[in-house]
Structure 1
């Protein structure tokens, strides 16, 4: 693979170049790859001690998802120290897989039994780097009702918790404009009656508001609200909303009590959520609901930990109660979205936009990290990219995308770049790098550098078949 001359030379610590570290040798690190520059081929460690926001970008087929897989592997190794990472195993990983290509992360490239030519190829690449097999802790989740007939029986069913749905979530799922659309206005009234105000049925019985509501509660209000007799809303408007709700009332994803965050996110494990088969509206709402809940629970846990550390006036009972809450809380976590422009695009508000932008801006305060990939940096909401601390830039060819990335890079550019002793610009470098190579820029790194990404230890599903 081609190497480039970038100057001044990168400073190394022993056998490693450190990326993303605020102070010296990191306590927790991920093995990202090795320098693809003239001189010694130092391996690259990424500091994972503290919370991060990372973006992996590049045109189709250049290795974005592969790189993302390498990052996630380091976060879910079975052992706290291995050839690819050293972590405390106190953080979980939640990967939203929009293309369903990470469902084989629990398959080692060195798996026993007959292997296809593709898997032999992946194993050979790993062996060429001298890396041993590394065990990973991975769970694969599939939204209930979207399991293929031949889906693996080891996949876990994911259920949504209806009370987590806000009015905005329902308006997105039902495709209602709650301000301009008459159906949206009517649903808003029903939702507020069921959740916030309470309502009276046709027999005069008052139904108290329910924060822990069900779809059946919404249906019942539409059918039996005493205000129906004098309502400004026509019967066909009420009937249209009722039919939409009944369809979701029967949907498997809303059956049961919902999958808890503690089930979905466990310390030291990666949970891959397969989203490819979901309709676009449900996909966005699913991400929004889970991310909102995670941010809320982590904020409460973080505040409680701080109170335990700071407040001198807590008595023994209060301390015990707060310690129990922390013990029950969802762990610190990495939230990862592949091809995120499909979930939180630029110039278009989706059901997930508000939740994800808030998550990216506030999450690090509560122990939450964020990683995204995209083929088109300009197609991703700029409020997300503005928070990125680490860019991993695979080959790009669009001038507008290259310019956009260069405007947002976090570390100084090299003073000189050479390709076979010919001076080139950073734009030419980004256009020229090969598959599996990337330009890396990080807030706490002395300059941008070129890296060859570490081979995966688990099966990569991002090839054509």
Structure 2
């Protein structure tokens, strides 16, 4: 047990556990498939017992907190733990993160900057075996910066005429929108992939539209082509997802949030459909029917800056699939969803109410706290504001509300083993030796 650990600290504000193992998300888990999150934090800020999250069953997790207090860092810890599970469990799981900020490609490098702090936790800097995908048109820009990436694309025919109208912010009932929907649906009926050139050719063959609408549509699609995301042939899901893999889809180069939402919508829909089919195959196998082929793994789907994709008060292109399928129904087929945001008040309220695990770092905005308070479970003995006040302002401290065990926990998230790319830059950056000394003197500080 590391120095400074409080052996007598009572681990939870309330709730039930089986045995002495503190496993969030599945009180029946007896010690297999565990993700080490950190240690309980006593009110005097000493370190208590280890806290784990169950990885055997699917979960819906919401991570929130103001900027710089550990939201993305905690996502990184979870990704690391999934990557370091025993092979027998790891091969049945896959991790995919939607990286909106371009900060998770660094996970392949060991976190040498916090080696002293890691040592105080009996951990060591370790890089992950990750694969980073970026929009196909942006690959060369990454390679010039010596960042190894693979191209990702979405087949043009994946989007319906209505989706193209929403993506391009065109009214469906306008002359341009009517022509666009008619053109796209005509091409989709042929059940063959098509290019932007094919769309433009089809537009100019339309005898019912005026030349101004045709010219505008051509300009729109030539602009879309420059994004480098939509191609005639898309990236197969099997290239992104396979058992035991950690995949980063970096969409930070896409400036248009509508485009990002479209990509997430299509990807989430494909993941959900594949897991539904895998679950049917699993049930048949349980009934004694022989199954051929490799099983599609259970997926942990991470999305940073979730308020972009499931906003409050409106709908993005990804809202329907993320809320109605992944969040409300995803656990049954084996799809875990982990959403992170620094603005809970800007998040669709169903995200809070449907999440079975809430990891809340420091919040100071009344609107954000109120958004979480609205769905506060009855088993919480105090208000969320009171718990956050007890937690204090330490970076990396988190209040965890576990709906499975109906309990509330105050936890200090462990340090990252892999390099964290989301830290704030400084004009006065200390040398490596100076960093190590600081970390060794302040092992509880969250850098």
Normalising by the smaller structure, the TM-score range is 0.7 to 0.9
Give the TM-score of the pair, scaled to structure 1: 0.81
Superposed, 1:74-85 pairs within 5 Å as 74-77=81-84, 80=86
Asked whether the 8 Å contact 2:301–2:338 carries over to 1, the reply is: yes
Q: 2:133 aligns with which of 107, 127, 141?
A: 141
Which residue in 2 is equivalent to 1:352?
318
Asked if residue 33 in structure 1 is aligned to residue 35 in structure 2, the reply is no
Taking structure 1 as reference, are residues 173 and 108 closer, same or farther at Cα in structure 2, changes over 3 Å only?
same
Asked whether the 8 Å contact 2:396–2:412 carries over to 1, the reply is: yes
Taking structure 1 as reference, are residues 279 and 251 closer, same or farther at Cα in structure 2, changes over 3 Å only?
closer
Superposed, 1:42-441 pairs within 5 Å as 42-77=49-84, 80=86, 87-110=89-112, 119=113, 122-134=114-126, 136-147=128-139, 148=141, 150-178=144-172, 180-196=173-189, 209-210=190-191, 212-225=193-206, 228=207, 231=208, 233-249=209-225, 252-255=228-231, 257-280=233-256, 281-310=258-287, 323-324=292-293, 327=294, 330-357=296-323, 358-410=325-377, 412-414=379-381, 425-426=386-387, 428-429=389-390, 432-441=392-401
Point out the structure with max Rg over C-alpha.
1
Question: Displacement, 1:10?
Answer: 7.4
Structure 1 gaps, min length 5: 111-118, 197-208, 418-423
Please state whether the residue corresponding to 1:392 is helix, strand or coil: strand
Paired residues in the alignment total: 414
Provide the rounded CA distance (Å) in 1 between the counterparts of 2:241 and 2:378. 33
> What is the CA deviation profile of residues 261-295 of structure 1, one whole-angstrom value per residue up to 9, with x for unaligned ones?
11111211211111222022221111111111221
Taking structure 1 as reference, are residues 89 and 130 closer, same or farther at Cα in structure 2, changes over 3 Å only?
same
Provide the rounded CA distance (Å) in 2 between the counterparts of 1:8 and 1:380. 27
Question: Displacement, 1:106?
Answer: 0.6
Which residue in 1 is equivalent to 2:442?
none
Which residue in 2 is equivalent to 1:204?
none
Taking structure 1 as reference, are residues 410 and 138 closer, same or farther at Cα in structure 2, changes over 3 Å only?
farther
Question: Displacement, 1:154?
Answer: 1.8
- The range that moved more, 215-224 or 29-38, is 215-224
Provide the rounded CA distance (Å) in 1 between the counterparts of 2:180 and 2:65. 42
Question: Displacement, 1:347?
Answer: 1.2
Provide the rounded CA distance (Å) in 1 between the counterparts of 2:191 and 2:81. 43
Provide the rounded CA distance (Å) in 2 between the counterparts of 1:40 and 1:338. 28
Structure 2 gaps, min length 5: 426-447
Provide the rounded CA distance (Å) in 2 between the counterparts of 1:416 and 1:184. 49
Provide the rounded CA distance (Å) in 2 between the counterparts of 1:362 and 1:109. 36
Which residue in 1 is equivalent to 2:28?
23
Question: Displacement, 1:169?
Answer: 2.9
Taking structure 1 as reference, are residues 58 and 24 closer, same or farther at Cα in structure 2, changes over 3 Å only?
same
Question: Displacement, 1:427?
Answer: 5.1
Question: Displacement, 1:369?
Answer: 0.3
Taking structure 1 as reference, are residues 7 and 415 closer, same or farther at Cα in structure 2, changes over 3 Å only?
farther
Give the TM-score of the pair, scaled to structure 2: 0.84
Asked whether the 8 Å contact 1:94–1:335 carries over to 2, the reply is: yes
Asked whether the 8 Å contact 1:95–1:272 carries over to 2, the reply is: yes
> What is the CA deviation profile of residues 414-456 of structure 1, one whole-angstrom value per residue up to 9, with x for unaligned ones?
4799xxxxxx9335336x2421101110112252110000110
